[in-house]
Amino acid sequence: MKTNNKIYKILLCVCTISILGYTSCKKYANPPAVYEELKPQSVGQRKVLVISIDGVTGSEIKTIAPPSITALQKTSKYSFEVLKSGIGNDASSWVTMTTGVSYIKHSIGTDNFERLRDPNADEHAEIKSYRNVLDYITQYKSTKTAVITPWDNLRRYLRNADFSPVVGTDVAVKDSTVNILTRQEGVGAVIVNFREVETAGLNGGFIATNSNYKNAILKADEYVGNIITALKARKNYASEDWLVIVTTIHGGSSINPQSGFLIASNKNLKEEEVKKRGFNTPLFNATAIGAQVNNDNGLYDAGSTKDFTVQMQAKFNTENYYVGFLSKSTIISGTTQTGWMWFQTDSKKWNVSFGGTANGSGINRQEVNGGGVVFDGGWHTLTMTVKYVNATTRTVTLYTDGNPNQSINISAHKSLSTSEKLTLGYKQFSGGTGLSFQGAELAYFNTALDAATVKANVGLKDMTKHPNYANLIGYWQNNEGTDAYLGNKAPGGYDMSLYGPFTWKAMGTDAPPSVTPDADASGKSIALTPATVSANMLYWMNIKILADFGIDGNPFLNQFELEFLK
């Protein structure tokens, strides 16, 4: 009895000291602990191994089919169409992969893992930093972490790992990984990086017919096989539940990144390819949601004498009055405006407003009325051409589904130049609110297309076949299905960045006339970027992804729980 009392007093003292220590020594705000509901599992402790083979293009590894990776594929969900994420160079892609956050948020894109400066950004705005996945794992789980990479800058960026050996070659990466898996029973999250495939591709191309590139992929695959053998030979492997992700930060080179691949393997998973299916586009249904070109270096400046054409296919879900939805303009307040803005009006039609207030026009803004009926729930092609004739004539013409509506002379407005960004989504028009639409196939030409060309190419399936393709300086298909950017597919121009609480809507076969969705649009539509890696690492480790993490990656394995949760 005395012994029990003694033990009780000791425990009470320890608990009291612990509580006092916590309350008195806490200096920095910590994220709240997460106590998720544990689900029954068929095996033991979850652990994760990520192997990135930098530079492997999805299409080429599919062609080469290296044996070790192909073997993992048989117990995996896999994709050969992992999209690059915004600026997709090596550093940016690694930050995206290890934070789950897209480039538009983290802005890190230099080889020393520093932010790329946006000359249009507010220099006084808050700079938000994002934690890497190993940081979350060590906070919420009692496990050790490891990073094995020959790239010194990456090792320094992920310096919070428990094990981070200095290595200089891919074979040394393999040997160190095998050593850690063999000797460190407590390790539970391992990130491995092979870089020599990317180097090989620079000599002869990132294609399977290049023997340098192919042989480098096969050598990396051999190393993957060695690592998997070491993993399965672990003393406690039978009581561990490993998720193995073999992937790449991007295909191709850092200068010209291409789509990559991802294989997420676990012994309980059934082999299945995941991909984006059907047509997928952002839903613009709130004033805070939009997409814009952050810095166009004047490329989309309307000026006073420039010819240009803007065309978009749109599907409006609601009918509202006086709400801007596509613009290179200031907000409209009464009769004041600088730039151009497409907006919703009455009679289910669309109009465009022009103004040069900030450039000394001295006249009120001017509307091009008579756009065609579009607010009927269907897809329509909206086209605006601007043609400079001379100092007294600059003509704007609107077309709906290729049919001309109205033309007016806007020369009195002088210059339409504005520092406002080319924006897809809500723009204030004299207080109007309410907006819900999908926009796709947004094209910007640096010439005024004639009526015959507009009519003939309304449903063009392949933009490269457009007679004025050489004049295309912006082309955003808006069909990525994931991440926070809209890729520009024109020969020149810039990507658009999504902002606000946007969602990607899977439209299936409900696509605009110029889009042919996948033949099989009935299955799950799962689009992936490098950000999905850390999202699935957290998911697999039973760490709840909180909104404060800012993660954009898709933890898509949660859609297949019936296969591995018993």
Tens digits of residue pLDDT in 256-284: 899 999 999 999 999 999 988 889 999 99
List, in order, residues 6 or more apart from 405 with CB less than 8 Å away: 370, 371, 372, 397, 398, 399
What letter would DSSP give residue 84?
A: P
pLDDT band at 117, cuts 50/70/90?
A: low
What is the pLDDT, as a whole number, of residue 334? 86
Residues of the chain by 3-state class (helix, strand, coil), percent to 5: 25, 30, 45
**Quick one: average pLDDT of 161-188?**
97
**Is it the case that residue 35 has pLDDT exceeding 70?**
no
Which residue(s) pair with 506 in the sheet? 280
**Is it the case that residue 391 has pLDDT exceeding 60?**
yes
Quick one: which H or E segment has residue 379? Answer: strand 379-390
CA angle 200, 88, 78 (to 5 degrees): 75
What is the distance between the alpha carbons of residues 70 and 183, in angstroms, rounded to a whole number?
27
pLDDT tens-digit map of 394-453: 999 999 999 999 999 999 999 999 999 999 999 998 776 778 999 999 999 999 999 999
What is the pLDDT, as a whole number, of residue 523? 73
What is the pLDDT, as a whole number, of residue 8? 38
Judged on CB neighbours under 10 Å (0-12, 13-18, 19+), 35 is: exposed
What is the pLDDT, as a whole number, of residue 118? 58
**Is it the case that residue 31 has pLDDT exceeding 60?**
no
- Indicate the length of the chain as a whole number: 566
List, in order, residues 6 or more apart from 564 with CB less than 8 Å away: 41, 42, 266, 268, 269
What is the distance between the alpha carbons of residues 256 and 113, in angstroms, rounded to a whole number?
18
**Is it the case that residue 21 has pLDDT exceeding 70?**
no
pLDDT tens-digit map of 451-498: 999 999 999 999 999 999 999 999 999 998 888 889 899 999 998 988
**Quick one: average pLDDT of 85-95?**
88
**Quick one: average pLDDT of 225-247?**
97
What is the pLDDT, as a whole number, of residue 373? 87
Which residue(s) pair with 343 in the sheet? 324, 351
Nearest to 90 by CA among 195, 13, 201, 12: 195
The architecture CATH gives domain 280-508: Sandwich (2.60)
**Is it the case that residue 516 has pLDDT exceeding 90?**
no
45-111+129-275+526-564: in CATH 3.40.50.300: no
What is the pLDDT, as a whole number, of residue 126? 66
What is the distance between the alpha carbons of residues 254 and 94, in angstroms, rounded to a whole number?
11
> Domain ranges in the chain?
45-111+129-275+526-564, 280-508
**Is it the case that residue 41 has pLDDT exceeding 50?**
no
Look at strands 503-508 and 279-283 and give their pairing. Answer: antiparallel
pLDDT band at 124, cuts 50/70/90?
A: low
What is the distance between the alpha carbons of residues 219 and 101, in angstroms, rounded to a whole number?
31
* DSSP letter string, 138-193: HHHSS-EEEEE-S-HHHHHHTTT-SB-----SHHHHHHHHHHHHHH-TTEEEEEEE
**Tokens matching residue 431:** 């207080």
- Distance in Å from the first CA to the final CA of the chain: 45
What is the pLDDT, as a whole number, of residue 566? 67
Quick one: which H or E segment has residue 73? Answer: helix 67-73
If you average pLDDT over each of 12-16, 32-36, 104-108, 472-476, which comes out highest? 472-476
pLDDT band at 250, cuts 50/70/90?
A: very high
What is the pLDDT, as a whole number, of residue 9? 41
**Quick one: average pLDDT of 308-331?**
92
Q: Which amino acid is at 30?
A: N
What is the distance between the alpha carbons of residues 543 and 536, in angstroms, rounded to a whole number?
10
What is the distance between the alpha carbons of residues 189 and 98, in angstroms, rounded to a whole number?
12
What is the pLDDT, as a whole number, of residue 148? 98
What is the distance between the alpha carbons of residues 538 and 555, in angstroms, rounded to a whole number?
8
Which residue(s) pair with 437 in the sheet? 284, 316
pLDDT band at 244, cuts 50/70/90?
A: very high
What is the distance between the alpha carbons of residues 100 and 135, in angstroms, rounded to a whole number?
12
Nearest to 292 by CA among 530, 541, 498: 498
| Selected residue with higher pLDDT from 25 and 281 | 281
Contact between 317 and 436 (Cβ < 8 Å): yes
User: In angstroms, what CA-CA distances link 321 with 198, 324, 350, 527, 564?
Assistant: 53, 9, 10, 35, 51
What letter would DSSP give residue 127?
A: -
What is the pLDDT, as a whole number, of residue 484? 83
Contact between 60 and 208 (Cβ < 8 Å): yes
Judged on CB neighbours under 10 Å (0-12, 13-18, 19+), 240 is: middle
* Intrachain domains 45-111+129-275+526-564 and 280-508 with the same fold: no
**Is it the case that residue 151 has pLDDT exceeding 50?**
yes
List, in order, residues 6 or more apart from 375 with CB less than 8 Å away: 316, 318, 319, 344, 348, 349, 350
What is the distance between the alpha carbons of residues 14 and 2, in angstroms, rounded to a whole number?
18
**Quick one: average pLDDT of 83-96?**
88
What is the pLDDT, as a whole number, of residue 42? 39
pLDDT band at 344, cuts 50/70/90?
A: confident
Q: Which residues of 172-186 are buried (b: 16+ CB within 10 A; e: fewer)?
A: ebbbbbbebbeeeee
What is the distance between the alpha carbons of residues 379 and 5, in angstroms, rounded to a whole number?
78
Quickly tell me which residue has 């993660």 as its tokens: 551
| Selected residue with higher pLDDT from 273 and 123 | 273
